[in-house]
Structure 1
Amino acid sequence: MAINVLTLVGSLRSGSTNGQLAEAAVAHAPEGVEVTLFSGIADLPFYNEDIDVEGQVPAAAAKLREAAGSADAFVLVSPEYNGTMPAVLKNAIDWLSRPFGAGAMTGKPTAVIGTAFGQFGGVWAQDEARKAAGIAGANVLEDAKLAIPGSLTRFAELHPKDDAEVAAQVSEVLVALKGAAEKNLVAQG
C-alpha cells in the first residue's frame, strides 16, 4: 500500500519554480509513495465561517477537504511573498484547519519545501507555513525541510526534476514523510 502525499503549491503562476519543484516531488517519489498535486487552490474562496456550513461548503473547499481527508501526509510548497507565505497557501491551510481540532490535516505528517530568488530560498515563508500547519493540527516534521535559493537563475534552463541535487533532497523529504505516515497507520491499527 502506497502512502498518499497531497501537495499544495502556494504559487498560481504558470511556470512557477515552486510548481516545478512540486512536479519534481511527483517525479522522484520513492517506492511506496504516491504524490498527488492538488490543482484547485486558486478556486478556494477566502475562509469565512459564515460559508463553512455543513451541507453548504463551497465546492472548491469540499474538494480540498476530500482530497486532504484521503491523504496520509502533506507537502506544502511555498514561495516567499514579502517575507511570508502566499495568501492562497494560508487560505488552504485555514480551510483544512476546520472543524477546529478535527480538520483534515490533524495529526498527519507535513513537510514544507520551496524555492525563492533570494539567498535563503524562502525560509521565512516556509517557517510561517510550518507554524500555520502546526496550529491547524498537522504533525509538522521540523527536520524535513528544503529551501532552495536563487530559483530564477538556478532553474532558468534546468527543471528542478532534472537537477540531481534537488531530486535527492526532495526524495529525502518524501522518505521522512513516508516513515512518519507509516507510524501513524500502525498506531491507528
Structure 2
Amino acid sequence: MATNVLTLVGSLRSGSTNKQLAEAAVANAPEGVDVNVYEGLENLPFYNEDIDVEGQVPAAAAELRAAAGAADALLLVSPEYNGTMPAVLKNAIDWLSRPYGAGATSNKPAAVIGTAFGQFGGVWAQDEARKALEIAGAKLVEDAKLSIPNSVVRFAETHAKDDAEVAGQVAGVLKSIQVAAEAN
C-alpha cells in the first residue's frame, strides 16, 4: 500500500516556482509514495470560528479537511512572503487544526520545503510553517527539509522536476516522510 502525501502549495501564482517544486515531488516520488497536490486553497474562506460549526462548515474547508484526513502525511511547499509563510498556507493550517486536538493535522507526519528568490531559499517561511504545524498537532519529520535559493534564476530555463539535484533532494524528503508515515 502506497503512502499518500497530501501537498499544499502556498503560492497561488500560475508560474510559481513552488508549484514547480510540488510538480517535482509528483514526478520524482519514490516507489510506494503517491503525491497529491491539493487544488483549491484559494477557495478557503479565512478561518473564523463562527463559521466552523458542525453541519455548516464551508464546503472548501470540509473538502480540505477530508483530503488531509485521508492522507498519510502532509507536505507543505512554501514561498517566503515578507519573511514569513503566505496567508493562504497559514489559513489552511488553521482550518486543518480544528477541532482542537482532533483536527486533520493531529499526529500526522508533516514536512515543509520550498524555494524563494533570496539567498536562503525561504527558510524563515518554512520555519514559521513548521512552528504552526507543530502547534496544530502535526508530527514534524525533522530530517525532511529542503530550501532552494535563487529560484527565479535557477528555474528560469529548467523546470524543477528536470533539475537532477532538486529531483534527488525532493525524493529524499519524500522517502523520509514515507518512513515516518509507516512508523506512525
Fold conserved (TM > 0.5)? yes
- Secondary structure at the aligned position of 2:114 is classed as strand
Q: Distance in 2 between matches of 1:99 and 1:181?
A: 22
Which amino acid is 2:83 matched to?
Answer: G
The aligned residue for residue 177 of structure 1 is 177
Q: Distance in 1 between matches of 2:49 and 2:142?
A: 30
**Distance in 1 between the 2:44 and 2:121 partners?**
26
Matched AA of 1:53: V
> Partners of 1:90 and 1:173 in 2: how far apart?
21
- The equivalent of 2:92 in structure 1 is 92
CA distance, structure 1, for counterparts of residue 48 and residue 141 of structure 2: 28
Structure 2 unaligned spans of 5+: none
Q: Report % sequence identity.
A: 78
Q: Deviations over 1:147-172 (max 9, x none)?
A: 00000000000000000000000000
C-alpha separation in 2, matches of 1:134 and 1:113? 15
Q: What is the SS of the residue equivalent to 1:24?
A: helix
Runs of 4+ in 1 over 6 A off after TM superposition: none
- Deviation per CA, 1:115-137, whole angstroms, max 9, x where unpaired? 00000000000000000000000
Per the normalisation by structure 1, the TM-score is 0.97
CA distance in 1, matches of 2:154, 2:29: 22
**RMSD value, Cα:** 0.4
Distance 1:143 1:35 in 2: 18
Residues 144-159 of structure 1 mapped to structure 2, 5 A cutoff: 144-159=144-159
How many residue pairs end up in the alignment? 184
Give the secondary-structure state (helix, strand or coil) at the position aligned to 1:7: strand
TM-score by length of 2: 0.99
2:119 is matched with 119
| Structure 1 residues without counterparts, runs of 5 or longer | 185-189
Q: Distance in 2 between matches of 1:165 and 1:105?
A: 30
Match of 1:65 in 2: 65
Residues 14-59 of structure 1, C-alpha deviations (whole Å, 9 max, x = no match):
0100001000000001000000000010000000000000000000
> Displacement, 1:141?
1.3
Per the alignment, residue 22 of structure 1 pairs with 22
In 2, Cα distance between equivalents of 1:144 and 1:134: 14
